[in-house]
Amino acid sequence: MVSIIAAVAKNGVIGSEGKIPWDIPEDKAYFKKITSGGIVIMGRRTFEEIGFPLPKRHNIVVSRKKTFSGKNICTAENLEKALENAHIYAQKTGIDRIFLCGGEKIYTQGIEYAQRMYITEIDENYQGDTFFPKFSTDKFRLSERTYINGGKICFCIYECIKNK
């Protein structure tokens, strides 16, 4: 299954100047819990911001730069190739949980492939320069909602009801 996982501010912001503009330990722990043991696909900028492959996950980084490579990561020249590689890896290993982990470029292109979205909704506006794409509730139905931190953060799960 292909899922998106993202933390999104009230005004849609996901990033600012290459970084995530908040530090929410509960969300970091949630991200780790949901993605561990799976396959993570991310854009080159997000990978460089993190600075290392995410442990206990198969890392695929998307970049147009033919020379781009790194230790313990796979690279793909576009998102479709990354998904193809992820499906091949899934067939070989039986690990079929594929997560699109950002940033904006990957979410925007990847939303049409997502069957599920794990969205941490943050009830606050942030200044930023990268945004989560707008999506229709005709296409994604909210299936779970868990509030934490006095209701300021919500772990939401959306299921795709109109698959590609």
For 133: left if phi > 0, alpha if psi spans -120 to 50, otherwise beta; the answer is beta
CB of 111 to ligand NAP, least distance (A): 13
By CB under 6 A, residue 32 contacts ligand NAP:
no
CA distance 153 to 9: 9
Binding to ligand NAP by residue 102, rule CB under 6 A?
A: yes
Residue 130 contacts ligand NAP per CB under 6 A: yes
Q: At which residue do the structure tokens 């506006």 appear?
A: 125
- Binding part of the chain for ligand NAP, among 57-65, 134-142, 143-151, 155-163 by CB under 6 A, reads 57-65
Determine if 45 is a binding residue for ligand NAP (CB under 6 A). yes
Closest CA to 26 of 156, 154, 158: 154
CA distance 108 to 12: 13
15 binds ligand NAP (CB under 6 A): yes
**For ligand NAP, the closer CB: 15 or 97:** 15
Residues that bind ligand NAP in the complex, under the rule CB under 6 A? 6-7, 14-15, 18-20, 42-46, 49, 62-65, 68, 77-79, 101-106, 109, 130
